[in-house]
Structure 1
Amino acid sequence: MTGGRRAAPRAAEGRRPRRALLPQLGLAAALTALLVAWGYLVVVAVDFGGRARNGSGAAWFLLALATVGAVACLFLALLVGVRLVRLVLNPPTDRPSGGRRAAR
């Protein structure tokens, strides 16, 4: 089968367009920071839980605060992770200005 009017030139076959890696790197850095913060807050919550069982009243409040912070960090990490996977698997395509499809 031969190419028609809309066939791409053969020189462009096999080449993949270069994509900017900045969005992927930014999301990867944010994901890493959120997971490190989550791990730290889990360790802190375990520490405050031990102190609270020994009778420290203020440790209960700090335990609750660290737990809510850990849950929030993990939730945000999941959101950022999904966005990163979607960006890697489905890269954005270049559209003409105005966000509309080109006229045929």
Structure 2
Amino acid sequence: MAHGKRAGARTKRRLRPALLGLALGVTLAVVAWGYLVYAAIDFGTSARAGDSTAWWFLALAALGAVACLFLGLVLVTRISRAVGLTRGPDPRTPATPAEPAGPTAAPGPGGAPPTPGGRRAAR
């Protein structure tokens, strides 16, 4: 940007340890997911060959893989919020009792739908 009088001071990019920790967590979760998927495939092969205890290990490895993938996706979401790519939901405002509560009122979140036909049918 030019050195105009409206140009703001540039902020320096700095290392943020929280983001580094989240990135490390995502990496570990994805590596664990890959290992558990590989183990589940191996246990499935053993189970089909006749090893009955391998079915239990297959189920545990599959559940662990699902948990690791979910954890990785949650951590990616937290990284995207920390970087500023996404933002959280807007806070809800409580409904005030002064709002009209009749068939002419617009339906609120969780409110009753308006009367079919509009204001004229409500008379």
TM-score (norm 2): 0.60
Q: Structure 2 CA distance, aligned partners of 1:25 and 1:80?
A: 11
Match of 1:77 among 72, 83, 91: 72
Write 1 or 2 for the structure with the bigger share of helix.
1
Identify the residue that residue 61 of structure 1 maps to in structure 2.
56
Greater relative CO, 1 or 2 (CA 8 Å, sep 6+): 1
Distance 1:25 1:44 in 2: 29
The whole-number CA distance in structure 2 between the counterparts of 1:56 and 1:42 is: 19
Report the equivalent of 1:7: none
Unaligned runs of at least 5 residues, structure 2: 86-123
CA radius of gyration, larger in:
2
Aligned residues: 82
TM-score by length of 1: 0.71
Of 87, 90, 94, the residue aligned with 2:82 is 87
* Structure 1 unaligned spans of 5+: 1-9, 91-104
Q: Which runs of 4+ in 1 moved over 3 A?
A: 17-20
Q: Percent identity?
A: 51
Mapped partners of 2:60, 2:51: distance in 1:
15
